[in-house]
């Protein structure tokens, strides 16, 4: 697999990296002693990367091949220690301890970055994509989340659908009102950006083609 990183504002984001989630592994029962499992990433229904892993005691050992830009493929095989904490309502929760040198942070997610190992977002200085969202982009994302919950087609430009079977009318009316409010914010933001772009283009035209 490649290092596959996404960028926003010149800084890599978590959404652009391959990641492994210890919570999913625990729910799948993959952290039991001597368990062996695979982790796959897909795009458009096709597998684009995968790793093999095996659990044992207080650690999970990751095995995969990594290739940085312009470099050769390297076989990677190293352990990631686990730590367990008690949950308030009973049971235990698993955590990764970041394997990067000098770190050891307790985290739920590890990301593959340029160093070729899975480490925490602090080590790779990754930003969350939502931290870089504009207000209208955030409103669009929230509107799409509501559309997904209602079973409507994704995309605020698409028509609204009906009430899902089994949903109370009061819930449906609240969600549609929130959806419409988010759509309004998103469209207003896009209109403002387009207006600003037009003003900039007009200014450039005036500079390039002065009257007279």
What pLDDT, on a 0 to 100 scale, did the predictor assign at position 200?
54
**What residue spans define the domains of the chain?**
6-129, 133-206
What pLDDT, on a 0 to 100 scale, did the predictor assign at position 67?
74
Regions of the chain with pLDDT less than 70 = 1-16, 68-70, 128-133, 193, 196-212
Q: Which residues of 7-37 are buried (b: 16+ CB within 10 A; e: fewer)?
A: ebeeebbbebbbbbebeebbeeebbeeeeee
| pTM of this prediction exceeds 0.75 | no
What pLDDT, on a 0 to 100 scale, did the predictor assign at position 74?
84
For residue 189, give every residue at least 6 positions away whose Cβ sits within 8 Å of its Cβ, in sequence order, or none. 134, 135, 136, 137, 139
What pLDDT, on a 0 to 100 scale, did the predictor assign at position 207?
46
What pLDDT, on a 0 to 100 scale, did the predictor assign at position 128?
58
What pLDDT, on a 0 to 100 scale, did the predictor assign at position 89?
81
What pLDDT, on a 0 to 100 scale, did the predictor assign at position 69?
67
């Amino acid at each position: 697999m490649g290092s596959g990183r996404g960028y926003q504002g010149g800084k890599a984001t978590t959404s652009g990296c391959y990641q492994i989630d210890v919570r999913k592994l625990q729910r799948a029962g993959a952290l039991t002693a001597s368990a062996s499992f695979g982790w796959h990433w897909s795009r458009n229904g096709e597998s684009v990367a995968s790793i093999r892993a095996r659990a044992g005691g207080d650690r999970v050992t990751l095995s995969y091949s990594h290739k940085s830009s312009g470099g050769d493929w390297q076989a990677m095989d190293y352990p990631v220690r686990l730590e367990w904490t008690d949950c308030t309502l009973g049971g235990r929760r698993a955590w990764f301890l970041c394997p990067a040198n000098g770190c050891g942070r307790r985290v739920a997610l590890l990301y593959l970055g340029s160093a070729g190992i899975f480490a925490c977002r602090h080590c790779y200085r990754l930003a969350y994509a939502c931290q870089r969202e504009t207000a209208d982009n955030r409103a669009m994302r929230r509107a799409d989340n509501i559309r997904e919950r209602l079973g409507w087609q994704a995309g605020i430009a698409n028509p609204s659908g009906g009430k899902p079977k089994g949903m109370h009318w009061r819930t449906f009316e609240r969600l549609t009102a929130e959806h419409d409010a988010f759509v309004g914010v998103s469209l207003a933001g896009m209109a403002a950006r387009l207006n600003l772009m037009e003003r900039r283009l007009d200014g450039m035209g005036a500079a390039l083609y002065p009257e007279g």
